Structure 1
Amino acid sequence: MSGLSAELLERMRERAPGYDRENRFFDEDLAELRAAGYLRPRSLLESVRDQRLLAAFAPATALAVNMHLVVVGIARTLAERGDDSLEWVLADAEAGELFAFGNSEPGNDLVMWDSLTTAERVETPVAGYAFTGTKIFTSLAPAWTRLIVFGKQTDGPDGPRLVHGILTRDDPGVTTLDDWDTLGMRATQSRTTRLDGAVVPDARIVRFLPVGPNADPFIFALFANFLLLIGAVYAGIADRALELAAEAAHRRTSLKNGGAPYSADPDIRWRVADAALALDALAPQLETLARDVDEQADRGARWFRELTGAKHRATETARHVVDQAMRVAGGGGYRSSSELARLQRDVLAGIYHPSDTESVHATVAQNLLGPLP
């Protein structure tokens, strides 16, 4: 694995409860991951495996780091296909820059197909595009040095179109609010970002795309990296929940059954087995798709169906596994200080990441049945 020693992972597991309790950013984890070379570019398959392992020890840390790995992964996926337009992103990542995602917007359920943020052409103080709008769920908010954003240009002969670019921490017009106080995934500190005429110079504009769905390689790279890495994080949460369920089954004893451990109870054994059966299906799907992205396999029109399906299955399976683990653990798992209680809160975040359940089913239905008449 990429720098994830057993000692490092255990230190992060020890820090995770404190980050959660104090609603604090994972500064120490980030420093250690950076020093270990974890933020450097690598294959999607390696990243999926690494992130699943990391999430089993520090879920919120893994989720936040995902956003950096996604942006770097987009550049890597494009480069592997002969598109060198984002090679400078790979160079920045190698040099230690930290990338974050500034795409989500309140009230925008079209996600990447439209934007409520405006992108206006400007010539001063530099030639580029000025972005004005509100971005939410900006993970890594206290620490990012590069922020990928997009907005809609309606002025000029080229509008309307979507403009994608990358801001730096020093660019004027960027304000980060201190407003992150959530049920789970608290250490991500995914705060709101306000853009007020923040200018991205032409050299850091990465794509002009039409409004609405499109098959541009940039979009494919974004979906492939985002969806599979999100799935990996929630699979890692489920891995840890299953471990805790097995530990609880061996530890708890039943007075009804003469002091025998719950691991001998047929109902408890069924629950643990049921969780494991569901979880066992995730690695083949996530890793096969990641390998196919790396190897440039041709899945044609099935790509988006299978990518969104993998994310959906991973997040829903993780919720099921954590739920089964909570039932096996008994009342002790309901204490706010228990690791399982934190995993139960963290795993719920999976339902809010794109693509949501409705969008996934619409994508699959369109692939099988065609568009609505």
Structure 2
Amino acid sequence: MTLLDHPTTTATPPALPTWSGAPTDSPWVTTARALVPELAVTAADHDRDGTFVDDGMTLVRERGLMSMLVPAELGGGGATFGEACAVLTALAHGCPATSLTLSMHMHLLAAQVWRHHRDLPAPVLPRVAAEGLVLVSTGAADWIDSSGAARRVDGGWRVSGRKMPASGAPAGSILVTSARWEDAPDGAQVVHLSVPFAAEGVSVEETWDALGMRGTGSHTVVLDDVFVPDAAVPLVRPAGEWHPVWATVLGCALPLIMATYVGVAEAAVARALALATHRAGRPEMATAVGRMVGHLTTAQDGVAAMVRANDDLRFDATLESAAAALTRKGIVAAAAIGAVERAMEVGGGRAFAAGSGVEQLLRDVHGATYHPLPPAAQERFSGRVALGLDPVGG
């Protein structure tokens, strides 16, 4: 049984939210919506077995969604950032894990488009369009301090470490990560780097076995004394200190990632309403449904605000913009989780059953908590910025 063929549910997803800059008649959104039934066929199987959504990723690649954000003049689809967010929301109705895995690739791509708009080097963009490269990030786990070890050698670096979670690792072409240079002359540094999955010393260890988003293939990438040339190291920064690069990363990544979870919440609400039709006349139902819709609307509005602030990848990457993105991420995550939890209440015992679709979506939506930053860390970061303090100090 798939997420869409429960006997009391419908295979037609609800209307998408109207994203800033992404009309619902966007060809990219139309393409994504058309994929929903096909993605749903195997979504529950991947969730049950914990297997990677390779079929879903093949579908989005065949439809050009992997390179939709690459500017047209560089061979890509030339889609807006808002369209990319709306596409991820749509895909999540069919397979949340496919949507989230694509968002991880897209946010790395978006950061390069942000650079392109500022006439900064972004050589990976035409390669993604021409070669179909899949970019894989480990940034969430590394954050300010990073992990692993980098040492200086002639012409580059030798890097070792275990990087997890790395969503999309089974399909990865290039790993975008970082490692600590402990014996740097001026104190510990973090070396940002990219390395092909095909490079000597790179392997994937299948460790991902989680409560939700089980099909993302967020395994451990093992780096065993991998040589990384200087040309593949765009930044070396002090460890443990805020760096402006994170403002760019957060402004690009968080709207895309949260767009997936809004799609999860929308799907859960639709299924819950279908399951509850026979109980619609009960006095408590209208209140429960109203509360559920309130959470969903908050999540939708929060992502729409994130998209507007992104300004189609032309936003000013400042400490204040980073704090705002993190604050909105926290709001959207809590609202999306609240919407799905209320969907369980509205759907009743049927929603609690495996095969309803709502049960899986409840597990999947809780993944929103673990993207940067979790609630306590986000509130501390945003609070320190509001007080004019170093966001990672103290």
**What whole-Å deviation, never above 9, does each CA across 1:277-331 have from its counterpart, x for those lacking one?**
2221333332233233235345854312210112111111111111111111111
Task: Give distance in 1, aligned partners of 2:118 and 2:139.
Answer: 24
- What is the 5 A alignment of 1:160-179? 160-179=188-207
Cross-structure match for 2:386: 368
Uncovered stretches (5+) of structure 1, i.e. residues with no partner? 106-110, 253-261
Counterparts of 1:345 and 1:283 in 2: how far apart (Å)?
19
Q: Give the direction of change, closer, same or farther, for the CA distance of 1:66–1:6 in structure 2 (3 Å limit).
A: closer
1:230 aligns with 2:250: no
- 1:188 is aligned, of 203, 216, 219, to 216
**1:5–1:78: structure 2 CA closer, same or farther, 3 Å change rule?**
closer
Partner of 1:146: 174
Deviation, 1:356, is 0.6
Deviation at 1:103, TM superposition (A): 3.3
Shift of 1:199: 1.8
| Residue pair 1:77, 1:294 contacting (<8 A) in 2 also | no
| Paired residue type of 1:13 | A
Residue 280 of structure 2 corresponds to: 263
Question: Structure 1, residues 137-167: CA drift from partner, whole Å, max 9, x if none?
Answer: 1111211011001011133435522111111
Residue matched to 1:210 = 238
Deviation per CA, 1:76-135, whole angstroms, max 9, x where unpaired?
112212322xx2121221121000013354xxxxx4211221111122xxx212211111
Equivalent in the alignment of 2:356: 338
- Which moves more between the two structures, 286-295 or 356-365? 286-295
Aligned to 1:255: none
Q: Which amino acid aligns with 1:204?
A: A
Q: Distance in 1 between matches of 2:169 and 2:318?
A: 36
Partner of 2:372: helix, strand, or coil?
A: coil
CA distance in 2, matches of 1:322, 1:284: 16
Letter of the structure 2 residue corresponding to residue 119 of structure 1: A
Match of 2:94 among 28, 48, 57: 57
Partner of 1:90: 125
Asked whether the 8 Å contact 1:131–1:196 carries over to 2, the reply is yes
Partner in structure 2 of residue 258 of structure 1: none
Between 204-213 and 159-168, report the one with greater CA deviation.
204-213
Q: State the Cα distance separating 1:337 from its structure 2 match.
A: 2.2
- 2:136 match: 100
Asked whether the equivalents of residues 66 and 230 of structure 1 are also in contact (C-alpha less than 8 Å), the reply is yes
TM-score (norm 2): 0.84
Query: Corresponding residue for 2:246?
Result: 219
User: 1:247: which partner in 2?
Assistant: 274
Contact preservation (8 Å) 2:181, 2:188: yes
- For 1:150 and 1:236, how far apart are their aligned partners in 2? 31
2:229 to 186, 201, 225: 201
Q: Is the 8 A contact 1:230 1:311 kept in 2?
A: no
Q: Which residue of 1 aligns with 2:21?
A: none
After superposition, the Cα gap between the structure-2 partners of 1:44 and 1:158, relative to the gap in structure 1 and judged at 3 Å, is farther
Question: How many residues get paired?
Answer: 352
C-alpha separation between the residues in 2 aligned to 1:180 and 1:114? 23
Name 2:107's counterpart in structure 1: 70
Of the structure 1 ranges 42-51 and 88-97, higher mean CA displacement relative to structure 2 is found in 42-51
Structure 1 residue 273: Cα displacement:
1.2
Matches within 5 A, 1:124-143: 127-143=155-171
Q: Secondary structure at the match of 2:147?
A: coil
Is 2:144 the partner of 1:113? yes
Does the aligned pair in 1 maintain the 2:140–2:371 contact within 8 Å?
no
- Amino acid paired to 1:176: V
Q: Kindly indicate whether the alpha-carbon contact (under 8 Å) linking 2:96 and 2:213 is maintained by their aligned counterparts in 1.
A: yes
Q: Secondary structure at the match of 1:148?
A: strand
Compute the displacement of 1:7 (Å). 3.5
Where does 1:350-365 land on structure 2 (aligned, <5 Å)?
A: 350-365=368-383
What one-letter code is carried by the residue in structure 2 that aligns with 1:9? V
The alignment partner of 1:199 has SS state of strand
Q: 1:316 to 1:66 in 2, by over 3 A?
A: same
Looking at structure 2, the residues matched to 281 and 321 of structure 1 have their Cα atoms a distance apart, in angstroms, of 9
Q: Could you say what secondary structure the match of 1:264 adopts? A: coil
| Residues 149 and 297 of structure 1, relative CA distance in 2, 3 Å threshold | closer
The answer for unaligned runs of 5 or more in structure 2 is 1-26, 70-78
Question: Is contact 1:102–1:193 with CA below 8 Å preserved after alignment?
Answer: no
Give the aligned residue type for 2:291: D
Which piece of structure 1 moves more, 167-176 or 277-286?
A: 277-286
The structure-2 alpha-carbon separation of the partners of 1:269 and 1:179, relative to structure 1 and needing over 3 Å to count, comes to: same
**2:33–2:91: 8 Å Cα contact kept in structure 1?**
no
1:294 aligned to 293, 308, 311, which one?
311
The one-letter code of the counterpart of 1:68 is H
- After TM superposition, which residue ranges in structure 1, 4 or more long, deviate above 4 angstroms? 297-301
Q: Deviations over 1:155-212 (max 9, x none)?
A: 3435522111111021111121122222211110111122111122112112122223
